[in-house]
C-alpha cells in the first residue's frame, strides 16, 4: 500500500505491463477500488469495519466526555507536512483530577469518509511526537464509503494530561484517475473514576518519550527503513529516577516489502530475469537495539491492507489489523542500570532482509520514582541469539522455498528505588516457518507461514512476585494466488487468504490475576480480472470468526461478507455461549 511515491507508483505500473512479470505470479499488488455493479452515486455510502471487541468503560466509571482533536481533508498530501493542531487537555480531565477522580479509559476515534477511486493509504496519528494510532484507509467507491476505528489510549495518560501537538499524516495522491480525497475527524473520548477504585488499577507510565522524527517535516514522524543495512535511531537521556521502562514499537511494511512473506530468494529472481519482483526471501525481523544490545525483536503480524491481494476480499469486513495495526511491547527495565547515567543513549531499529520500505517508530513508557531523585540498577544477565535457514529448490519458474528461523532474547537486571530492590527478567522466544511454492510455470503461488512468539516479564523484590506477564501469539497465514488467461496487460487472478491472530495472555502480581484468550481468524477467497493495475470485474467473500474469553469479559462474532454485502453477522458477549469457558487459574502453556 501507500507508502507509494509517485515514482514507485509508476514502477508498479511498468512492472505490470511487462509480459514476463505477469507470467510469474503478479504478487505484491495493491489495487484501487472496483465497481462490482454499475455505479449509482446516489446509493448510501458503504460502511467498512474491522472486527474487534468493543472497548468497555470500567465498571462504575462515568463519561464519556468527548473532544474533537483535529478535523482534516487529505487530498494531494504526499510529500507535504502532516496536518497539525494544538492539543490542550480537555477541561473535564483537569476537573475530574481536581475533584479527586482519575482517568478510567481514554479512547481515540478516527472516523473518515471518502468518495471516488483511491488506493489504500497508510496513516499515523501522533501526540507530541508519540504515535497513538497507525492505520490504513478503506478504499472508496463512487457512492462513498465511511468507517471508524477506535483505539484504547489510556496508557498515554501522561501525554494526554499535558498540552502538546497532534499530527496526522496520510500520504495521498489525487489525480484524474485516483480521485478520492479522505475527510477525517479525530476525537478523544474520556471516562473517569470519581474515586480511586479498589484495588487500584496498574499505574500507567509517568513519562512517555517519543522515538520518532520531529516536526516540522514533510512526511510521517515514523522512520523509513529502506534496506537491510539501514539503521534508524534516536538518542535519548532517561530521567535518573526511572524504575520501569517499556518500549512500544509501531511497524508497517510497504512497497517492495508490503508482501514480504511472499518474496522469493534473489537467486530465483536472478535465474529467471524477474527484475521487477521484490526478493530477499520471505523472512523479516525488526531488531530493536539500545546502544550495543539487541533488547528485543518484533516478528510482525502479516497485516494485509484493504487493497491487498484482491481488494474485494476486504469489503466491507476489512482485514485483521488493517484499521488498527498491532503494536509490540519490549520491556527494557533490566537495562535501566546502564541507562540512568544522565547521558544520551542510542535507540535504534533495523529490519533483517528489508526492502524499501518499513515505517517504524516507538514510544518509550517510563515509570518514575516520586519518592527519590535517583534510582540505581545493574544488568545481571543477558543473552540474545538467532538462526535462520532457507531450503531452496527450483527449476525455471517453478520451485519450493522453505524458510525457518528462530530467535531468543532474555535479560535480567535489578533496579533499586523506593519500591525496594526489584529484579526484572524479560524474555522473547520466536519461531518462524514459511513455505513458498511456485507451480504451473510460476503462475500459481502458495505461501504457508506460521509465526510463533512468546514473551514474558517477571519482577520480584525477593519476598514476593510483584509482576508477571506472559504472552503467547501465533500468527498463521495461508495464501494462494493463481494467474491465468493473460491477454496483453490483462489477466485473471484467483486468490485464497487465511490469516489469524491467536493470542493468550496471563498476568499476575500485586494487581491480581488476569487471563485472556483470543482466536481471530479470517478465511477469504475471490477472483478478479485485472487490466493494467485496475480491477475490471470480480467477486470476493470473507468469513471471520472472533472469539475472546478473558477475566475481563468475553466477546464472540461470526460474520461473513460477499461483494460488499454482509451475508450473516452473529455476535455476543456471553462467556458461556459460542465460546469456551474460562478455566480458573490455568496459565497458558508457553
List residues binding ligand NAG (CB under 6 A).
36-37, 40, 42-43, 71, 111-113, 183-185, 272-273, 448, 450, 478, 537, 539, 562-563, 580, 583, 586
Of 344, 192, 259, 282, the residue nearest 31 (C-alpha): 259
Would you say 293 or 400 has its CB closer to ligand NAG?
400
Would you say 158 or 566 has its CB closer to ligand NAG?
566
Q: Minimal distance in Å, beta carbon 476 to ligand NAG?
A: 7
Would you say 177 or 583 has its CB closer to ligand NAG?
583
Q: Minimal distance in Å, beta carbon 376 to ligand NAG?
A: 42
Q: Minimal distance in Å, beta carbon 326 to ligand NAG?
A: 22
Residue nearest to ligand NAG (CB): 539
DSSP-derived pairing of the beta strands 145-152 and 46-47: parallel
The total of other beta-carbon atoms located within 10 Å of residue 99's CB is 10
Q: Minimal distance in Å, beta carbon 562 to ligand NAG?
A: 4
Would you say 249 or 397 has its CB closer to ligand NAG?
397
Would you say 371 or 586 has its CB closer to ligand NAG?
586
Phi, psi for 292 (deg, rounded to 5): -85, -5
Angle at the Cα of 322 from the Cα atoms of 451 and 25, rounded to 5 degrees: 70
The beta strand positions in 310-443, using DSSP E, are 327-331, 344-352, 358-368, 376-395, 398-417, 420-439
Dihedral sign computed on CA atoms, order 53, 57, 63, 65: negative
Q: Minimal distance in Å, beta carbon 566 to ligand NAG?
A: 12
Rounded Cα–Cα distance for residues 531 and 533 (Å): 6
| DSSP structural state of residue 257 | G
Of 507, 443, 568, the residue nearest 201 (C-alpha): 507
Q: Scan for cell 469489503, then name that residue.
A: 315
DSSP 451-502: EEEEEEEEEE-SSSEEEEEEEEEEEEEEEEEEEEEEETTEEEEEEEEEEEEE
Would you say 305 or 432 has its CB closer to ligand NAG?
432
Q: Minimal distance in Å, beta carbon 6 to ligand NAG?
A: 26
Please classify residue 369 by burial: count the beta carbons closer than 10 Å to its beta carbon, then call 0-12 exposed, 13-18 middle and 19+ buried. Answer: buried
The total of other beta-carbon atoms located within 10 Å of residue 60's CB is 10
| DSSP structural state of residue 49 | B
Q: Scan for cell 474460562, then name that residue.
A: 582
Would you say 11 or 582 has its CB closer to ligand NAG?
582
Q: Minimal distance in Å, beta carbon 111 to ligand NAG?
A: 4
Q: Minimal distance in Å, beta carbon 43 to ligand NAG?
A: 5
CA distances in angstroms from 529 to 10, 26, 276, 439, 563, listed in the order given = 21, 12, 21, 21, 15
With beta carbons less than 8 A apart as the criterion, state whether 295 and 332 touch.
Answer: yes
What region does 29 belong to: left with phi over 0, alpha with psi -120 to 50, or beta? beta
What region does 179 belong to: left with phi over 0, alpha with psi -120 to 50, or beta? alpha
519's grid cell? 482466536
Q: Minimal distance in Å, beta carbon 142 to ligand NAG?
A: 11
CA distances in angstroms from 172 to 115, 327, 458, listed in the order given = 14, 23, 44
Angle at the Cα of 251 from the Cα atoms of 548 and 304, rounded to 5 degrees: 65
Q: Minimal distance in Å, beta carbon 168 to ligand NAG?
A: 13
Going across the sheet that includes 285-290, the strands are 232-237, 344-352, 285-290, 293-298
Q: Minimal distance in Å, beta carbon 551 to ligand NAG?
A: 13
Q: Who contacts 409 (Cβ-Cβ below 8 Å, separation ≥6)?
A: 294, 295, 296, 297, 383, 384, 426, 427, 428
Q: Minimal distance in Å, beta carbon 344 to ligand NAG?
A: 41
Q: Minimal distance in Å, beta carbon 501 to ligand NAG?
A: 16
Would you say 72 or 337 has its CB closer to ligand NAG?
72
Would you say 293 or 562 has its CB closer to ligand NAG?
562
Would you say 276 or 333 has its CB closer to ligand NAG?
276
Phi, psi for 156 (deg, rounded to 5): -95, 25
Q: Give kind and range of the element (H or E) at residue 587.
A: none
Would you say 364 or 499 has its CB closer to ligand NAG?
499
Would you say 204 or 562 has its CB closer to ligand NAG?
562
Would you say 382 or 478 has its CB closer to ligand NAG?
478
Q: Minimal distance in Å, beta carbon 583 to ligand NAG?
A: 4
Rounded Cα–Cα distance for residues 151 and 108 (Å): 5
Would you say 40 or 214 has its CB closer to ligand NAG?
40
Would you say 431 or 539 has its CB closer to ligand NAG?
539
Q: Minimal distance in Å, beta carbon 26 to ligand NAG?
A: 18
Amino acid at each position: 500500500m501507500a507508502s507509494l511515491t509517485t515514482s514507485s507508483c509508476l514502477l508498479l505500473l511498468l512492472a505490470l505491463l511487462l509480459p514476463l512479470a505477469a507470467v510469474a505470479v503478479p504478487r505484491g499488488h495493491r489495487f484501487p477500488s472496483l465497481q462490482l455493479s454499475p455505479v449509482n452515486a446516489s446509493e448510501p455510502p458503504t460502511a467498512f469495519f474491522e472486527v474487534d471487541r468493543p472497548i468497555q468503560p470500567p465498571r462504575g466509571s462515568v463519561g464519556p466526555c468527548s473532544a474533537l482533536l483535529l478535523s482534516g481533508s487529505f487530498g494531494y498530501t504526499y510529500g507535504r507536512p502532516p496536518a497539525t493542531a494544538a492539543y490542550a487537555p480537555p477541561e473535564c480531565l483537569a476537573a475530574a483530577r481536581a475533584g479527586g477522580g482519575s482517568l478510567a479509559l481514554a479512547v481515540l476515534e478516527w472516523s473518515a469518509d471518502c468518495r471516488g477511486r483511491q488506493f489504500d493509504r497508510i496513516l499515523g496519528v501522533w501526540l507530541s511526537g508519540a504515535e497513538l494510532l497507525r492505520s490504513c484507509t478503506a478504499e472508496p467507491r463512487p457512492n462513498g464509503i465511511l468507517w471508524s476505528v477506535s483505539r484504547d489510549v489510556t496508557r498515554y495518560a501522561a501525554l494526554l494530561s499535558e498540552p502538546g501537538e497532534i499530527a496526522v499524516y496520510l500520504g495521498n495522491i489525487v489525480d484524474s484517475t485516483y480521485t478520492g480525497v479522505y475527510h477525517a475527524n479525530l476525537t478523544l473520548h474520556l471516562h473517569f473514576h470519581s474515586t480511586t477504585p479498589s484495588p487500584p488499577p496498574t499505574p500507567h507510565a509517568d513519562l512517555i518519550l517519543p522515538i520518532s522524527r520531529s516536526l516540522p517535516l514533510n512526511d510521517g514522524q515514523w522512520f523509513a527503513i529502506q534496506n537491510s543495512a539501514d539503521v534508524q535511531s534516536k538518542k535519548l537521556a532517561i530521567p535518573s529516577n526511572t524504575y520501569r521502562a517499556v518500549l512500544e514499537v509501531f511497524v508497517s511494511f510497504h512497497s517492495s516489502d508490503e508482501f514480504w512473506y511472499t518474496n522469493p530468494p534473489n537467486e530465483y529472481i536472478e535465474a529467471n530475469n524477474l527484475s521487477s519482483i521484490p526478493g530477499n526471501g520471505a523472512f523479516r525481523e525488526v531488531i530493536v537495539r539500545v546502544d550495543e544490545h539487541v533488547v528485543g525483536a518484533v516478528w510482525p503480524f502479516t497485516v494485509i491492507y484493504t487493497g491487498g491481494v484482491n481488494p474485494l476480499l476486504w469489503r466491507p469486513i476489512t482485514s485483521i489489523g488493517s484499521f488498527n495495526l498491532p503494536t509490540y511491547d519490549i520491556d527494557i527495565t533490566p537495562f535501566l542500570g546502564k541507562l540512568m547515567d544522565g547521558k544520551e543513549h542510542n535507540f535504534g531499529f533495523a529490519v533483517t532482509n528489508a526492502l524499501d520500505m518499513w515505517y517504524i517508530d516507538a514510544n518509550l513508557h517510563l515509570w518514575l520514582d516520586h519518592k527519590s531523585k535517583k534510582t540505581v540498577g545493574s544488568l545481571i544477565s543477558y543473552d540474545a541469539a538467532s538462526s535462520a535457514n532457507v531450503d531452496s529448490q527450483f527449476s525455471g519458474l517453478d520451485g519450493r522455498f522453505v524458510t525457518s528461523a528462530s530467535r531468543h532474547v532474555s535479560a535480567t537486571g535489578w533496579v533499586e528505588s523506593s519500591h525496594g530492590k526489584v529484579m526484572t527478567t524479560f524474555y522473547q522466544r520466536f519461531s518462524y516457518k514459511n513455505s513458498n511454492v511456485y507451480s504451473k510455470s510460476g503462475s500459481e503461488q502458495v505461501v504457508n507461514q506460521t509465526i510463533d512468539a512468546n514473551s514474558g516479564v517477571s519482577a520480584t523484590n525477593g519476598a514476593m512476585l510483584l509482576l508477571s506477564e506472559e504472552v503467547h501469539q501465533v500468527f498463521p497465514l495461508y495464501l494462494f494466488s493463481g494467474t491465468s488467461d493473460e491477454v496483453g496487460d490483462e489477466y485473471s487472478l484467483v486468490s485464497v487468504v487465511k490469516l489469524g491472530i491467536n493470542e493468550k495472555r496471563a498476568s499476575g502480581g500485586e494487581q491480581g490475576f488476569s487471563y485472556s484468550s483470543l482466536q481471530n481468524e479470517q478465511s477469504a477467497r475471490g477472483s478478479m480480472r485485472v487490466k493494467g493495475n485496475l480491477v475490471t470485474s470480480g467477486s470476493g467473500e470473507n468469513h471471520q470468526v472472533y472469539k475472546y474469553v478473558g477475566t475481563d469479559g468475553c466477546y464472540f462474532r461470526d460474520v461473513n461478507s460477499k461483494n460488499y454485502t454482509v451475508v450473516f453477522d452473529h455476535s455476543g458477549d456471553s462467556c458461556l455461549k459460542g465460546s469456551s469457558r474460562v478455566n480458573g487459574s490455568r496459565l497458558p502453556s508457553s
